[in-house]
Amino acid sequence: MKVLDISGPMTQKQILGSVDQPERTVRYGIRRLLEKGILKKMSNLSDMRSVYYYLDPAIKSNFEFLGGKGDVKVSQIA
Protein backbone atom coordinates (compact mmCIF):
# COMPACT_ATOMS: atom_id res chain seq x y z
CA MET A 1 0.00 0.00 0.00
CA LYS A 2 2.82 2.39 0.76
CA VAL A 3 4.21 2.00 -2.77
CA LEU A 4 0.87 3.08 -4.24
CA ASP A 5 0.56 5.90 -1.71
CA ILE A 6 3.92 7.32 -2.80
CA SER A 7 3.89 6.49 -6.52
CA GLY A 8 0.22 6.70 -7.42
CA PRO A 9 -1.48 4.26 -9.81
CA MET A 10 0.69 1.32 -10.89
CA THR A 11 0.30 -1.89 -12.87
CA GLN A 12 0.88 -5.24 -11.19
CA LYS A 13 4.21 -5.50 -13.00
CA GLN A 14 5.29 -2.07 -11.70
CA ILE A 15 4.27 -3.01 -8.16
CA LEU A 16 6.30 -6.24 -8.43
CA GLY A 17 9.35 -4.22 -9.49
CA SER A 18 8.96 -1.89 -6.51
CA VAL A 19 8.65 -4.42 -3.69
CA ASP A 20 10.81 -7.28 -2.51
CA GLN A 21 8.05 -9.91 -2.39
CA PRO A 22 7.28 -13.00 -4.47
CA GLU A 23 4.85 -12.53 -7.37
CA ARG A 24 2.28 -14.82 -5.80
CA THR A 25 2.31 -12.80 -2.56
CA VAL A 26 1.79 -9.55 -4.46
CA ARG A 27 -1.08 -11.01 -6.51
CA TYR A 28 -2.74 -12.30 -3.35
CA GLY A 29 -2.31 -8.94 -1.60
CA ILE A 30 -3.79 -7.06 -4.55
CA ARG A 31 -6.76 -9.43 -4.68
CA ARG A 32 -7.44 -9.09 -0.94
CA LEU A 33 -7.15 -5.29 -1.00
CA LEU A 34 -9.55 -5.16 -3.96
CA GLU A 35 -12.04 -7.36 -2.08
CA LYS A 36 -11.84 -5.07 0.96
CA GLY A 37 -12.35 -1.97 -1.20
CA ILE A 38 -8.99 -0.46 -0.25
CA LEU A 39 -7.63 -0.73 -3.80
CA LYS A 40 -9.45 0.27 -6.96
CA LYS A 41 -8.51 -0.51 -10.54
CA MET A 42 -8.80 1.41 -13.78
CA SER A 43 -8.07 0.54 -17.39
CA ASN A 44 -4.58 1.10 -18.73
CA LEU A 45 -5.44 2.93 -21.95
CA SER A 46 -1.93 2.48 -23.36
CA ASP A 47 -2.10 -1.33 -22.88
CA MET A 48 -5.59 -2.77 -22.50
CA ARG A 49 -4.12 -6.10 -21.32
CA SER A 50 -3.25 -4.59 -17.95
CA VAL A 51 -4.90 -2.36 -15.38
CA TYR A 52 -3.70 0.30 -12.98
CA TYR A 53 -4.25 -0.20 -9.26
CA TYR A 54 -4.61 2.76 -6.92
CA LEU A 55 -5.64 3.42 -3.33
CA ASP A 56 -9.27 4.48 -2.94
CA PRO A 57 -9.00 8.18 -1.97
CA ALA A 58 -11.85 7.85 0.56
CA ILE A 59 -10.07 4.96 2.28
CA LYS A 60 -6.58 6.42 1.88
CA SER A 61 -7.40 9.40 4.08
CA ASN A 62 -8.27 7.00 6.94
CA PHE A 63 -4.81 5.42 7.08
CA GLU A 64 -1.34 6.64 7.87
CA PHE A 65 1.87 4.94 6.80
CA LEU A 66 4.51 4.63 9.52
CA GLY A 67 8.12 3.55 9.43
CA GLY A 68 10.96 3.64 6.98
CA LYS A 69 11.96 1.49 4.05
CA GLY A 70 11.22 -2.18 4.60
CA ASP A 71 9.63 -1.54 7.98
CA VAL A 72 6.16 -0.32 7.13
CA LYS A 73 3.25 -0.32 9.50
CA VAL A 74 -0.22 0.82 8.58
CA SER A 75 -2.54 2.15 11.23
CA GLN A 76 -6.11 3.27 10.93
CA ILE A 77 -6.83 6.79 12.11
CA ALA A 78 -9.76 6.86 14.51
Percent of the chain predicted with pLDDT > 70: 73
Full 3-state SS string of 33-65: HHHHCCEEEEECCCCCCCEEEEECHHHHCCEEE
Ranges in the chain, pLDDT < 70: 1, 61-78
Beta-carbon contacts of residue 73 (< 8 Å; ≥ 6 apart) = 65, 66, 67
The predicted pLDDT at position 4 comes to 75
H-helix or E-strand spanning residue 74:
strand 73-76
The predicted pLDDT at position 62 comes to 67
Domains along the sequence of the chain with CATH = 2-76 (1.10.10.10)
